[in-house]
Amino acid sequence: MKRIKIILFILIFSSTLFAKGEISFKRQKEKVLQEQQEEAQKVNTTVKTSTRKTTSNKEKAMRRALLDVAFSKLGTPYIYGANGNGAFDCSSYVQYVYKKSLNMDLPRVSYQQAQAGKKATVRQLKAGDLVVFDTLGKNRISHVGIYIGDNQFVHASSGSKKVIISELEGYYAQKFEYGVKILWKNLKN
């Protein structure tokens, strides 16, 4: 009699598990189908946005190339009016970096470079954008550098007599006029 009870218990228990398993199987199948649909939607979204990713990668590559050239000239002497043959002034440094890294021709003097792109606030700046200053207090642009991120910029400094990295605070924050986005023109195509 005990054996019959045990066999009945096993049969009832097994049939219950089978029934639950079948329900779980149906739920699992529905879940897998839903995941496949979601994955298909992600693929479609990725295809739709792939051109934006390419542009973003192009922009990153351009900015990286620009900074590589800019950093390679750290320590180069500053001489007012120099054009890059072993020394720079602020605007010839910016002109050299853009020409060497991106083959872009910028004007030679800082106030013209300040007009060569779209004005931007400090918060809008990205690495590679220009930062322009009125260091003479004459209501005109008299100094230019290249923003490198983290509130810093690289420039040919008359005070330090060489190409250096400076913080955009204190003296430079007071003399800062605006940023200039040069690269945005080349990213629209």
Of 108, 133, 127, which Cα lies nearest the Cα of 182?
127
The whole-model pTM stands at 0.70
Q: 43-52, 122-131, 140-149, 172-181: lowest mean pLDDT where? A: 43-52
Q: Where in the sequence numbering do the catalytic residues fall? A: 90, 143, 155
Q: What is the side-by-side order of every strand in the sheet holding 152-157?
A: 118-120, 176-181, 130-133, 143-149, 152-157, 162-167
* pLDDT band of 52, cuts 50, 70, 90: very low
How much is the mean pLDDT over the chain? 82
CA distance 158 to 138: 17
* pLDDT band of 14, cuts 50, 70, 90: low
Helix, strand, or coil here: 29? helix
Percent of the chain whose predicted confidence (pLDDT) is above 70: 67
Residue 177 predicted with pLDDT over 50: yes
